[in-house]
């Protein structure tokens, strides 16, 4: 990956107004937004099938003030959502970006539903850690794969050019920092070049680059990476070479509930509905309601880097709403026990420790007091036989730091001024999760991908319209 100095004499094989690097949710939504504003774009994707990180997620997009919420009596607002995001990240995110995303969120979700047929509905029944309202919007199967399928259908229906097996290897940049074009490489090593008037980087973060992970996320350098292998930090490396401002490179989304050895994501709804995590000693070690991102490091710190999700039939039946959970169940990841004694024997746990763990939860529910980790229990959520258990580990899903952008998704230089025609969104851009692993509020990743992606596409199109008018 390199920056190639543009001297004005290069010739490109083709020219398009807008090039978008990456065909995940971010790039596809950016292309749809630009198309709506009358600008032709070409989306360049390194893989043969454009699935990316989005397809590995549950596809939940948080949005405030949508008609989907209104239909179910959920009263929400961008201000409430912004407060939740900032409270979770310790007020470390750029308030202007948080405001831009939350204020645009409802409009983007409804636009995708109405103009492009994405079949959203509101995820009900529980609140993810840190959210004060039910505001997760998802497709019926609750998978990122289904969301990607809907977006790909929309891009095809709009007639937007999408080139796969087209890895961008070079950016051509002139002396003023203006991007003039890109060079892409095919699997056989052949190269093609495109000139462009604007460029959107939608190629995610650096989670698949072990060197960058070790440098910026040392606490997760040995964690299983459960993101897309193509997330090699291209945008970060290009930006660094161009003198762009990079922010919050220590921010990430981990997850403390990846089924092993099946490597299937287990929804955190299991914890939010009353489940707990114990280590191989049979004891809890954290507040499971604190957040699933920071839970990754806590699970990895346990003996063997493993834990057990414990829950009951009530929670099991509710979790079957999620396709990933159904797949884990079919694969045999979910074990069932009629008693604590049977569970302890089968999982090689201390029965005495396990019994003490359950007794403590009972006492806490009766007293109304929180435990040493800060979690409170209610009688209605206490676990009852038959019990279920899933062996899990902590994993790194994707990074949250990147190129600093303004509220129009324009990439900023180190002095705070914007590059003329360079935009970034999704994992390529600085997110709203602060500077570490504990600031991630559920849905922050797709919030940045989908909503900031829409903003990037719209603003690039507007800039091109202004440029052509001038």
Give dist(CA 364, CA 1) in Å, integer: 55
pLDDT at 469: 44
Q: For 221-275, what is each residue's pLDDT tens digit?
A: 888 998 888 999 999 999 999 999 999 999 999 999 999 999 999 999 999 999 9
Residue 366: exposed, middle, or buried by beta-carbon count in 10 A (0-12, 13-18, 19+)? exposed
Nearest to 13 by CA among 186, 154, 132: 186
Mean pLDDT of the chain: 95
Q: Does position 75 have pLDDT exceeding 50, yes or no?
A: yes
Give dist(CA 48, CA 387) in Å, integer: 43
Q: Does position 11 have pLDDT exceeding 90, yes or no?
A: no
Q: Does position 209 have pLDDT exceeding 90, yes or no?
A: yes
Give the pair of three-digit tokens for residue 366: 């009766």
Nearest to 272 by CA among 256, 251, 259: 256
pLDDT at 52: 84
Nearest to 94 by CA among 402, 397, 454, 396: 402
* Percentage with pLDDT > 70 across the chain: 99
Q: Does position 16 have pLDDT exceeding 50, yes or no?
A: yes
pLDDT at 470: 36
Distances from the Cα of 182 to the Cα of 2, 89, 172, angstroms: 10, 35, 6
Q: For 91-109, what is each residue's pLDDT tens digit?
A: 999 999 999 999 999 999 9
First to last CA, the chain: 33
**Contact at 8 Å (CB) between 227 and 56?**
yes
Dihedral angle, C-alpha 137, 143, 145, 150, nearest 10 °: -40
Secondary structure tally for the chain: helices H, strands E: 15, 21
Q: Which residues contact 108 (CB under 8 A, 6 or more apart)?
A: 29, 63, 450, 451, 454
Give dist(CA 21, CA 184) in Å, integer: 10
Give dist(CA 454, CA 177) in Å, integer: 24
Q: Does position 8 have pLDDT exceeding 50, yes or no?
A: yes
| H-type alpha helices, 73-140 | 78-88, 95-116
pLDDT at 466: 59
Residue 466: exposed, middle, or buried by beta-carbon count in 10 A (0-12, 13-18, 19+)? exposed
Give the pair of three-digit tokens for residue 396: 């790194």
Give the mean pLDDT of 133-154. Answer: 96
Give the mean pLDDT of 392-413. Answer: 97
Q: For 185-206, what is each residue's pLDDT tens digit?
A: 999 999 999 999 999 999 999 9
Q: Does position 12 have pLDDT exceeding 50, yes or no?
A: yes
Q: Does position 1 have pLDDT exceeding 80, yes or no?
A: no
pLDDT at 3: 86
Q: For 436-453, what is each residue's pLDDT tens digit?
A: 989 999 999 999 999 999
Q: Does position 468 have pLDDT exceeding 70, yes or no?
A: no
Give dist(CA 470, CA 180) in Å, integer: 18
Give dist(CA 392, CA 7) in Å, integer: 54
Give dist(CA 454, CA 365) in Å, integer: 45
């Amino acid at each position: 990956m390199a920056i190639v100095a543009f001297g004005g004499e290069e010739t490109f094989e083709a020219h398009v107004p807008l090039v978008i690097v990456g065909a995940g949710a971010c790039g596809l939504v950016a292309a749809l937004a630009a198309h709506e504003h009358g600008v032709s774009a070409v989306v360049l994707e390194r893989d043969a099938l454009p699935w990316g990180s989005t397809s590995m997620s549950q596809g939940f997009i948080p949005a405030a003030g949508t008609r989907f919420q209104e239909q179910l009596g959920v009263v929400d607002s961008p201000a409430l959502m912004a407060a939740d995001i900032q409270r979770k990240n310790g007020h470390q995110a750029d308030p202007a970006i948080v405001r831009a995303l939350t204020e645009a969120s409802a409009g983007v979700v409804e636009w995708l539903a109405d103009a492009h047929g994405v079949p959203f509905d509101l995820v009900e029944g529980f609140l993810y850690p840190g959210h004060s309202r039910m505001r997760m919007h998802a497709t019926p199967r609750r998978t990122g794969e289904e969301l990607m399928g809907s977006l790909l259908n929309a891009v095809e229906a709009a007639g937007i050019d999408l080139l796969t097996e087209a890895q961008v290897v070079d950016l051509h940049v002139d002396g003023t920092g203006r991007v003039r074009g890109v060079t892409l490489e095919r699997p056989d090593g052949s190269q093609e070049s495109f000139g462009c008037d604007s460029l959107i980087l939608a190629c995610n973060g650096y989670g698949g680059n072990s060197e960058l992970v070790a440098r910026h996320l040392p606490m997760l350098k040995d964690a299983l990476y459960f993101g897309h292998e193509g997330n090699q930090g291209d945008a970060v490396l290009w930006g660094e070479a161009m003198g762009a401002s990079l922010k919050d490179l220590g921010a990430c989304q981990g997850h403390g509930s990846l089924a092993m050895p099946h490597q299937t994501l287990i929804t955190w709804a299991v914890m939010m509905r009353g489940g707990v995590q114990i280590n191989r000693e049979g004891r809890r070690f954290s507040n499971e309601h604190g957040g699933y991102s920071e839970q990754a490091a806590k699970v990895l710190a346990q003996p063997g880097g493993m834990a057990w999700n414990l829950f009951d039939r009530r929670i099991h039946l509710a979790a079957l709403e999620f396709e990933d959970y159904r797949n884990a169940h079919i694969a045999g990841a979910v074990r069932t026990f009629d008693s604590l004694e049977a569970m302890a024997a089968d999982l090689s746990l201390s029965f005495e420790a396990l019994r003490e763990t359950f007794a403590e939860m009972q006492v806490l529910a009766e007293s109304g007091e929180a435990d040493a980790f800060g979690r409170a229990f209610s009688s209605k959520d206490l676990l009852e036989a038959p019990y279920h258990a899933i062996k899990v580990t902590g994993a790194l899903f994707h990074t949250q730091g990147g190129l600093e952008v303004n509220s129009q998704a324009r990439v900023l230089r180190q002095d705070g001024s914007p590059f003329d025609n360079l935009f970034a969104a999704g994992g390529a851009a600085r997110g709203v999760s602060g500077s570490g692993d504990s600031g991630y509020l559920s849905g922050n990743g797709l919030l940045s991908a989908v909503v900031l992606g829409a903003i990037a596409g719209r603003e690039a199109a507007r800039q091109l319209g202004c440029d052509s008018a001038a």
